[in-house]
Amino acid sequence: MNKRHFCTRIAAGLGVLATALVSAQAQAQPTDWPNKPVRWVVPFPPGGAMDAIARILGERAGKALGQTFVIENRPGAGGNIGAASVAKSPADGYTIMITSIGMATNLPLYGKLAYDPAKDFAPVSLLAVVPNVLVVNAGQSKARSVQDLIAAARQSPGKLTYASAGNGTSIHLAGEVFTSMARADLLHVPYKGSGPAVADLLGGQVDSMFDSVTSAKPHIASGKLRALAVTTTKRSRALPDVPTLAEAGVPGYDVSPWFAVFAPAGTPRPVIDKLNAALLDAMKQPDVVARLDAIGVEAVGSAPEALATHLASESARWTKLIAERGIQLD
């Protein structure tokens, strides 16, 4: 009887414990996400396409979700400083990151990172493609075409410069692929973001740049910068009169910068889905579409699984290309 009574009490205790665990798990489910502001890390300074996309979509998604999306710029090391900080953040949905092609290129470029692009992040959505555009200072450069720039670079090897938003960025890689395919020796000058790079291009400290259409377009419109070509296989809707590099005499050239959102690995799937839905909905709103079109951003949107596939494909492509062309960081 004592043994039976003991077993009965143990069973009852286990039942209470199981009920408590189920209750705790139910309380832990992120059904009320978000109930505080969401930190959206931009691993580059203000002024570039990445920053503009985050601010436009964050504003709309924040309204839909009832919480503010706080943009935090954490530049440095080609986006690696910001990415490393997000990888180490709590996986609770309150820290996310917008990033670009660097998620696919930084590992083969740097060899070692403080984070794993594939394992340390949960894909949320592919957001957009923003063509880069080869620009020169309209008041100082004699180059009026891509062929003019190539000829000048070949005449004075290593003398002409091109700025970038930092080592490993799409702007840097666009220049590396160009110098390799065009057999033109230009000196790379990396900056900590597109904004300061454009400032020096406008000031005449550097000769050219593969900038995003987003930040270059206003200066092209004002006549301060001259657009020579875009880096994508198709012309940009924002600059329809500007040829592609392939059209301008560099056959086969294609660098299509993409932007996407990631969260720390382990972020609950319900949170990922809710965030994904808010971003996709934001990209469908007429006012958002108009604002993105105005700065040359071509919205895409995707499921998390599609972004994971895209990252894997881009990683394989760029790892091969970087090795084949011997692209190295300065």
The superfamily CATH assigns to domain 132-230 is: Periplasmic binding protein-like II (3.40.190.10)
Q: Of 258 and 6, which is predicted with more confidence?
A: 258
- pLDDT, residue 295, reads 87
pLDDT band at 292 (very low <50, low <70, confident <90, very high): very high
* Beta bridge partner(s), residue 126: 260
| pTM of the predicted structure, to 2 decimals | 0.79
- pLDDT, residue 76, reads 86
Strands 95-99 and 187-190: unpaired
- pLDDT, residue 7, reads 46
- pLDDT, residue 312, reads 96
The burial of 8, by beta-carbon neighbours within 10 Å (0-12 exposed, 13-18 middle, 19 or more buried), is given as: exposed
- Do the two domains 38-129+257-325 and 132-230 of this chain adopt the same fold? yes
- CB-hemisphere CA count at 13 Å for 301? 15
210 close to 178: Cβ distance less than 8 angstroms: yes
Residues 6 or more apart in contact with residue 38 via CB below 8 angstroms = 62, 65, 67, 68, 69, 70, 93, 94, 95, 96
DSSP 186-255: -EEEE-SSHHHHHHHHHHTSSSEEEEEHHHHHHHHHHTSEEEEEESSSS--TTSTTSPBTTTTT-TT---
**53-96 per-position pLDDT tens digit:** 999 999 999 999 999 999 999 998 888 999 999 999 999 999 99
Q: Of 97 and 77, which is predicted with more confidence?
A: 97
* Beta bridge partner(s), residue 117: none
- pLDDT, residue 47, reads 80
Q: For the structural domain made of 38-129+257-325, what CATH number should be given?
A: 3.40.190.150
Q: Which residue has the tokens 């709309």?
A: 60
Identity of residue 132: N
- pLDDT, residue 326, reads 78
d(CA 135, CA 145): 10
Check pLDDT > 50 for residue 280.
yes
d(CA 43, CA 99): 7
Domain edges within the chain: 38-129+257-325, 132-230
275 close to 281: Cβ distance less than 8 angstroms: no
pLDDT band at 1 (very low <50, low <70, confident <90, very high): very low
Rounded to the nearest integer, the mean pLDDT of the chain is: 89
- pLDDT, residue 112, reads 87
